[in-house]
Structure formats: structure tokens, C-alpha cells
Amino acid sequence: MADDQDHSVADRELTDSWQLLMGLVLDQRWRWSEVAGELGITQAGLRALLAIDPDDPRPMRDLASAMNCDPSYVTAMVDDLEHAGYAVRQPAVNDRRIKTVALTPAGITALRTARDGLLSPPPQLAGLTQRDQRTLARLLREALSPDSSAGPPR
């Protein structure tokens, strides 16, 4: 009986922790519109910018798959990036029929700006002590490591 109660308390604590973490992440949604506006692109364009590897141009269909969206939507996203001067479409090296998307030098700078704007810690976490920041980082690394027994649902 005590084990069931301990398990129930642990489940509630984990659920509470998850809800707090998700609340923190969702509270940061405003960053997307702010960063997109700063770069002069749509939020969809920003999503595509973040999906493009600056060192390895990707075919449009791979971007669609990576972003889990329709290829026609990727076309509009890349149009946005091209219009801003951040990306170019070019034929694939091994098959000219396939269009890849590569970042321009301005696009690489924009990608850095986007990552800085979206991935910097929010004040709620930056305000933690260094010890607590290290503990949080360690716990998240452990929970998200490929060796973790927790994996995606099957």
C-alpha cells in the first residue's frame, strides 16, 4: 500500500514538473514572432530557416519530411527565405531534377540570429543559481540521452 502511495506521489510530481516545463516553453512562443519580425520573414519561414543545415543543402522533399508538412507548404516557406535573401534553390549535385535549398551568407547570419533569439534561456532559468542550472542541465541530458530507457511511444 505504501509503495502505491509513493508511486502515486511520484507520478503527480512528475506530472506537475512536466506541466511546469511545458508552461515555461509555451510562454516563450512570443519569441517566434519577435525573431521572425526582426529577420523580416514569416514564422513559417523562420521554421524553415531552422530546418536547413548551413553545411549541407537539403532537397525540398527532405525539408517537408523533417518539418512534417506538405511539400507545397515548404515551397512557400522557401519562397519567403529567398525573398529575404536568406536561401537559394539550386539543383542537387547528383540529380539536376532535384532542387536543394542552401543558405546564403546572409541566411547563415540570420540562422545565428534566430538561434540566439529562440534558444537563449528564458529569465526564469537564467535566474537559477549556477549549481541549479548545472543540476537541471544534467537531469535533462540524462532524461533525453539516447541511452535513456524512455523512448518515443510505439
Which one-letter DSSP state was computed for residue 90? E
Give 12 or 146, the one with higher predicted confidence: 12
* Residue 21 CA to its chain's centroid (Å): 16
State the Cα torsion 57-77-26-18 to the nearest 10°: -50
CB-based contact 35:47 (threshold 8 Å): no
Write down the residue that cell numbers 529562440 correspond to: 118
Residue 114 has a CB neighbour count (10 Å cut-off) of 24
CB-based contact 102:94 (threshold 8 Å): no
- 121-140 pLDDT, tens digit per residue, is 988 899 999 999 999 999 99
Sheet containing strand 58-59, edge to edge, reads 58-59, 99-103, 87-91
CATH numbers and ranges of domains, the chain: 35-142 (1.10.10.10)
Write down the residue that cell numbers 519569441 correspond to: 31
Pick from 114, 99, 104: which is nearest to 43 by CA? Answer: 114
Q: Is the pLDDT of residue 1 over 60?
A: no
Length of the chain counted residue by residue: 154
Tell me the percentage of the chain whose pLDDT exceeds 70: 91
Q: Is the pTM of this model over 0.85?
A: no
